[in-house]
Amino acid sequence: DLEQSPYLDVLSERGALTTLQMMELKPGTVITTDVAREICVRTNRHVLLAGKVAIVGGEYLVTLEATDCNSGKRLATAKAQASTKAKVLEALDTVADHVRRSLGESAKSLNSYDVPIHQATTASLEALQAYSAGATLNELGKDQSESLPLFQRAVELDPSFAMAYGQIANDYYNLSEFKLASQNYKKAMDLSGNVNAKERLVLQAHYYAEGVGDRLQGIKTYQLWAATYPRESAPAVNIIDSYTQIGQYAAAISEGERALAAYESNSLIYSTLARAYADDGRFDEALSVAAKAIRNGKDSEGLHSTMFQIAVARHNPDSIHQEMVWAENHASGWYAWYFPYLQASVAAAAGHYALATAYYRKSYDVAISAGLVEAADDVLTDEAETEVSLGLRSAARATLGRLRNPTADVEDLALVHAQLGDVAFAEQFIARHASETADTLMANVYLPQLRSVLDMQDGRPAEAIADLDIATPYELKSYVVLYERGQAYLRAGEAQAAAAQYQKILVHPGSTPISVLYPLAHFGLARAYALQHNAVDSRKEYGQFLELWRDADEDLPVLKQARLEFAQVK
């Protein structure tokens, strides 16, 4: 009788012991019908069978009832009498046969719920159901703006639900709301004391890699996760992404190729591997992975972001047009604001500043309308950084004046302020992060960049060069380190060393193919050759830059300066 008997030992053989722990029920708990139904839901079963044997008038009455785990609806009931104890099993066979026939083709005949329950530690079944609904949307590739409210509902129902906070953090991270993501990663870690071993591993991996930017520790934890649970594809996706984020593309590709062979059904593996190939300049292989993904029904915005940037890098107008059409037909979710941002970057890299401004405005407006304030401010920050690179310092200050949070603790914002000579803002940022963990990107990339810019402001190029030494292992994650180092070498009069930095940018066209720093690397290389009195190569590089900017806005200070210097090289 389920109402009276503890079935913990039997149920533990089918995973119920772990489920009871997740329900925060102690071992030895009596499994009542209500508890059994919750176990049924949590373990993704469809039907609960409850049996009872009762003595009625000297005979035995055997009853078997089948109910829908999720709704509690009665699906079938059968009763049989046994005149003696020896005939009870015979009666049980009779009722079991009747119930099985009544249920018919089990899974197809039952009005079962749509969303599978994911195993996660919480005492609240309602919170778990909201969490599972959000996780299912993520698995289906839906936009994070759809799943985020479900995870937020889960923590409303259970404020100590660590895994739900982790999913909130993941959604914010993918929506480019990085500060909110970091706060929720920390919240998840703070609550991880009561989760099981696997959940703790998952939370730690995300916390290190995405929460605090310690990508190397994050990779190690993801690798432990992958080794411990080899059937799961999620750690592989994050390992590929983390290696790509730090510019170690060979490692990302190696992991991605292995993961794709093992987990062909995971759409994120296609997009992360394609991006790793593209960032490494292996455009044909990136497009091959993208084509395979589309054939297999694994198309995604991430894939098309990569395909668009490859089309731009190859100056392929037909492919660019195709990607623009695709984006117009999929203008929802994060890609609705991100694609205009990509277009702004492309326009700026070609010297089309007026056009870039219009795209930046569109990207900002869409992000604001979606409630993504941090992403919108990041768009403005990138716009200001681009304006500084184009020599439009007044425009950059005006752009920063539009920020919703002008004092945000964001590395890119601090970098723009440093480039504009706002020393106090940059120094305060450095002071706030002085105790940063030694292995984080903050300690190894962002703070060195800031210190380098400040040293250049003070006329100390040698110190600026030294500042960037620690960033060398990560210098291909973007062009900023290489470009800053090239500028410092030029200022120090070390033309050959400067040329090497700009050349490294130009031989890696995939790293940031739509960055304005790529064409400006031709300009910097031309200056380095001129400093070496190599007029032939200098004129060639000036010519390359001016050809890339042949349709650029005429009033750009950088363009005017390049033309002036080109005319002076004999």
Residue 536, CA distances (Å) to 359, 503, 562, 566, 569 in order: 38, 16, 16, 11, 9
How high is the pLDDT of residue 6?
38
Q: What is the pTM of this model?
A: 0.80
CB 337 within 8 A of CB 542: no
CB 385 within 8 A of CB 373: no
50 Cβ contact list (under 8 Å, min separation 6): 2, 33, 36, 64, 65, 67
Per-10-residue mean pLDDT for the chain, 570 residues long? 37 50 64 76 78 82 83 83 73 75 57 58 87 86 88 96 96 92 96 91 95 94 95 94 95 97 92 97 98 94 96 96 95 91 97 98 97 96 98 98 96 97 96 87 95 96 97 95 98 97 96 94 98 97 97 96 94
Q: CA 81, 85, 87 angle in degrees (round to 5)? A: 55
DSSP assignment, residue 116? P
CB 184 within 8 A of CB 161: no
Pairing, β 74-82 against β 59-68: antiparallel
Instruction: Say how far apart CA 176 and CA 160 lie, in whole Å.
Output: 25
268 Cβ contact list (under 8 Å, min separation 6): 237, 300, 302
CA-wise closest residue to 98 among 78, 113, 70, 69: 78
How high is the pLDDT of residue 108?
45
Residue 538, CA distances (Å) to 307, 490, 525 in order: 33, 14, 7
